[in-house]
Amino acid sequence: MSFTGRYPTTRPRRLRQADWVRRLTRECALTPNDLIWAMVVHDGAEDEIAVPSMPGAPRLSVRAAAQAAKRAAALGIPAIAVFPHIDPAKKEPAGKEALNPNGLVCTATRAMKDAAPDVGIMVDVALDPFTDHGHDGLLRDGVIANDETIEVLTQQALIQVKAGADMVAPSDMMDGRVGAIRTALDAEGFQDAMIMSYAAKYASAFYGPYRDAIGSGKLGGGAVKNPGDKRTYQMDAANSDEALREVAMDIAEGADMVMVKPGLAYLDILARIKQSFGAPTYAFQVSGEYAMLKAAAANGWLDEERAIMETLLAFKRAGADGIITYFAPWAAEKLG
């Protein structure tokens, strides 16, 4: 810290006394360019289906998602992150619907790119929206099979890119999946397709509303060891150095961008990653964070606008190049 001073000749409050000088000396700026709109799509006809635990962030039909892509373009939001809620009848242990080139994710991607070609579409690479047990990988004797899962994830990523996705985001936390996906994309001529790795994804209590939104519900059932637990593949909340190792591996395997998930409880991780690697680094303001802010605001316990904007600025202050958030369209309107 090179700037030093002593009271009374130095008075920090001088730089806080009016809006114009606060704006002139503000260290972080938040604009619509910093936002990625997290969106859940469904395969039904109804344009919007409310998710009780996520008020204001309904599931959207393919048609409504295409209209939302146009709205994103108008608001200046650069990209949309798409997550599927499929018909429960299509779910089974192997998550085979993830490999359907005419399934929900691919259909929504094509519709959104047709509607707003200049809006980036980022798709999730994981099996949890498609399996009846709700886990992110294939089960063998009650254990998630890492290498077998990677084979399926690689096929899933290829199918999604062929449908028009600009970026794939493997969220499964299988070891080695980034390298396998990069190799497969390059071999098929998709050298320009981007990978944003969920490099530091923690086993968190803040994912519950999202599981409601995609319909994964309770994890596991009796066939899975520790059925309600993803701790054998998602990171331990106590670990920080491990996050740096995960990021280093994923960058070496070909990740173009990395992500920290969840966001607010892991700002220290976000800061360490950005400072250590300097790579494009993103935070995911997850469903539980969204739900807490909405619930507190609905009860009059928080000023909704100030609280949301403060959290988004916190990500920027910690070093995030952008934020994946369900608040994106709301925030872009305020910022615009």
Active-site annotation, residues: 201, 261
Structure-block tokens of residue 321: 């190049």
What is the rounded distance in angstroms from the CA atom of residue 335 to the CA atom of residue 161?
31
Tokens 């009780």 belong to residue: 52
Residue 235 near residue 203 (C-beta atoms within 8 A)? yes
Q: Which residues, including other chains, have CB under 8 Å from residue 323's CB and lie 6 or more apart?
A: 34, 35, 36, 263, 282, 283, 284, 285, 312, 315, 316
How far apart CA 123 and CA 60 sit, in angstroms, is 15
Distance of alpha carbon 159 from its chain centroid, rounded?
A: 20
Per-residue burial over 166-187, b if 16 or more Cβ lie within 10 Å, else e, is bbbbbbbbbeebbbbbbebbee
